[in-house]
Amino acid sequence: MRSLALTSLENDCRSCYKCIRSCPTKSISFQNGQASIIPDECVYCGRCYLACPQQCKKIRDDKAEAKSLLAKGNCIASIAPSFLASYPGASFVTMKEALLKLGFMDAEETAIGATIVKKEYDKLVDSAKQDVIISTCCHSVNLLVEKHFPAAEKYLAHILSPMQAHAKDIKARHPGCSVIFLGPCISKKNELDRYDGYDDCVLTYLELDELLEEKGIKVRKDEDPKKVEESLARLFPIEGGILETMVKDNPDYEYIAVSGMENCLTTLKDVIEGKVHRAFIEMSSCPGSCINGPAIRPAARSFAAALIEVKRSAGKKDFRTADYEENDLAKSFHNQAFYVATPKEEDIAKILRKIGKTSKKDELNCSSCGYASCREKAIAVLQGKASLEMCLPYLMEKERSFASTVVEGSKNGMAVINETFEFTLVNPSLAKMMGKKQDELLSTPVFEYFDVAPFADAFDGKNIPPMKLELLGSDKIFEITLSFQTRYHILIAMFRDVTNEEKAKKAKAERIEKTAEITTSIISKNMRAVQEIAQLLGESAAETKIALVNLEKSLQEDEDDE
């Protein structure tokens, strides 16, 4: 089973909401920092694919399937006439040359199928069975009706698209062959998935580019393209091109062309509301129709040039095609409308209050979140498609409130310093510490107040530990912590007045030093006293010893005399 024609890549989303802004049906959910396509609502118009600056939207890659079909042989290419928008200067002759080199057995113009379809459109108008008839060549338009405007399904022309009609015609002429459609549409991949028995694979021009590049094949420019008169349906990929191929001989009908999703949406609303009658409406999701399709190389994209080339390439007569019965080309459509409960007004109001919208004047409807109004965004939140944080004004106010609470109310000094060493933000605490006014400090250079060397080192990317600096011209000392923000090239500085602490440390150190001096003096004196006492004791002991010796001698002499 094939994957979805268009998906969202995870982890690359940068929360810019461009895909939501560009999506005409708001078929994108944004949760947990990730934008994701909602398959049940998506019409595969490719607007989000073109809008995403991070290239988070991925078209299904069917090159491997195409290579497998080519390897089996008997594979025929059906190339849409919009190829002139992706391969400027080429012709069908040079395109066919390149495709044969790539391995196709043959290549034909999808415009042949367009001729078959436009004949059925003329028949449908002539029958006058439908009040309003909407063309069904564009699969994105068909999905738009099926999913978002099911009430308009009865106005669709129940006829195969040119891609399908051509595949049916090719297989009738070449039994057993496979058909690969080549075009600028993402939605055709979904059409392939929806309807069996027609094309076997769909490749965008982007995928075709890659296949050609792999084989080193270049589509040469045709310097002298031969005019083929039987090629009127080559006009199909431009706005009004379908109408130009039709006979339009029923005077009771108006024939109008509508392109671009916004115009398609408003036109479908008008039709459903009964504002349009007796009209054949050519409808294309891409502005200017298929030559402005999403899957065209940006380098090759030139709407005006492609428009001119398509007009020049078309002849005045129809391609010769087989005749088909009405039922042979019938196409069915199904109601794919999804049910989403409409939130209660009190719930919508509750969400609006959460993002600071307490009155109508608070509802800026700036569309920064991707939704046309704050109310629509609130409804999307309740439907699980959006988050509160998607509101930019709300986030800015929240950030300002946080900054006011944390920065303005902080007891510590805080400042932001730019690369020219100027204060660009100073909180009240720092101004008070420095004995200045906030306005007085702003835009003044930091070197007027502190030694600038550590700040310069921090801007150079050096790791600067917390340091103590004197406030020039005063006795104040600040402990300063610097943090260099590489992304914004600013220094965030935290200041703490440690003057009293430093004075206390200094006084304590002085007391300790004084005490040490006194203690040393006392010890010295005591040592001298001890030494003197020891000397006196020593002298006394010597005299005592002499006296005792003399006494002993006297006693001994007395004993001898007796």
Cα 479 from Cα 469, distance rounded (Å): 6
In the predicted model, is pLDDT for residue 213 greater than 70? Answer: yes
Q: What is the pLDDT of residue 400?
A: 63
Q: What is the pLDDT of residue 196?
A: 95
Number of domains comprising the chain: 3
Residues 312 and 448 grouped into a single domain: no
Query: pLDDT band at 369, cuts 50/70/90?
Result: confident
Average pLDDT, the chain: 91
Residues 308 and 443 grouped into a single domain: no
- Sorted by sequence, the CB contacts under 8 Å of residue 146 that are 6+ apart come out as 153, 333, 334, 335, 336, 337
Assigned domain for 193 exists: yes
- Sorted by sequence, the CB contacts under 8 Å of residue 154 that are 6+ apart come out as 130
Q: Give the distance, in angstroms, between the CA of residue 357 and the centroid of all CA atoms in the same chain.
A: 26
Q: Could you tell me if 239 and 257 are in contact, meaning their C-beta atoms sit under 8 angstroms apart?
A: yes
Residues 303 and 432 grouped into a single domain: no
- CATH number reported for the structural domain that contains residue 377 in this entry: 1.10.15
Residue 483, exposed/middle/buried by CB under 10 A (0-12, 13-18, 19+)? exposed
- CATH number reported for the structural domain that contains residue 458 in this entry: 3.30.450.20
Residues 232 and 138 grouped into a single domain: yes
- Residues forming a β-bridge with 496: 479
Asked which of 301, 329, 357 is the last residue of a domain, the reply is 329
50 token code pair: 């073109």
The residue among 202, 272, 288 whose CA lies nearest residue 240 is 288
Q: What is the pLDDT of residue 552?
A: 63
Query: If residue 189 lies in a helix (H) or strand (E), which one and from where to where?
Result: helix 187-194
Asked which of 408, 427, 461 is the last residue of a domain, the reply is 408
Q: Could you tell me if 205 and 86 are in contact, meaning their C-beta atoms sit under 8 angstroms apart?
A: yes
Which range of residues forms the domain containing residue 290? Answer: 61-329
- Sorted by sequence, the CB contacts under 8 Å of residue 496 that are 6+ apart come out as 412, 413, 478, 479, 480
Q: What is the pLDDT of residue 516?
A: 81
Q: Which residue has the tokens 């002759």?
A: 93
Q: Could you tell me if 31 and 387 are in contact, meaning their C-beta atoms sit under 8 angstroms apart?
A: yes
**What would the 3-class secondary structure string for 416-482 be?**
EECCCCEEEEECHHHHHHHCCCHHHHCCCEHHHCCCCHHHHHHHCCCCCCCEEEECCCCCCEEEEEE
Q: What is the pLDDT of residue 545?
A: 66
Q: Could you tell me if 388 and 28 are in contact, meaning their C-beta atoms sit under 8 angstroms apart?
A: no
Residues 461 and 403 grouped into a single domain: no
- Residues forming a β-bridge with 491: 417, 484
Query: Going by DSSP bridges, is the β-strand pair 477-485/490-497 parallel, antiparallel, or unpaired?
Result: antiparallel
In the predicted model, is pLDDT for residue 556 greater than 80? Answer: no
Residues 461 and 484 grouped into a single domain: yes
407: DSSP letter: I
pLDDT tens track for 301-331: 899 999 999 999 999 999 999 999 888 999 9
Which amino acid belongs to residue 286?
Answer: C
Assigned domain for 209 exists: yes
Cα 318 from Cα 323, distance rounded (Å): 13
The residue among 465, 479, 472, 468 whose CA lies nearest residue 445 is 472
- CATH number reported for the structural domain that contains residue 278 in this entry: 3.40.950.10
Residues 200 and 344 grouped into a single domain: no
Residues 214 and 346 grouped into a single domain: no
Residues 404 and 415 grouped into a single domain: no
pLDDT tens track for 61-93: 999 999 999 999 999 999 999 999 999 999 999
pLDDT tens track for 32-53: 888 999 999 999 999 999 999 9
pLDDT mean over 206-231? 95
In the predicted model, is pLDDT for residue 395 greater than 80? Answer: no
Residues 95 and 173 grouped into a single domain: yes
pLDDT tens track for 454-500: 999 999 989 999 999 999 999 999 999 999 988 778 899 999 999 99
Q: What is the pLDDT of residue 397?
A: 65
Long-range CB contacts (within 8 A, 24+) of 393-398: 393/356, 393/364, 393/366, 393/368, 394/355, 394/356, 397/356
Assigned domain for 506 exists: no
Predicted structure pTM score: 0.73
Assigned domain for 112 exists: yes
In the predicted model, is pLDDT for residue 533 greater than 80? Answer: no
Q: Which residue has the higher pLDDT, 226 or 117?
A: 117
Cα 464 from Cα 530, distance rounded (Å): 55
Q: Could you tell me if 225 and 93 are in contact, meaning their C-beta atoms sit under 8 angstroms apart?
A: yes
155: DSSP letter: G
Helices (H) and strands (E) in the chain, counts: 20, 16
Q: Could you tell me if 86 and 218 are in contact, meaning their C-beta atoms sit under 8 angstroms apart?
A: no
The residue among 530, 82, 157, 546 whose CA lies nearest residue 329 is 157
Other CB atoms within 10 A of residue 341 CB:
7
Residue 269, exposed/middle/buried by CB under 10 A (0-12, 13-18, 19+)? middle
Q: What is the pLDDT of residue 399?
A: 61
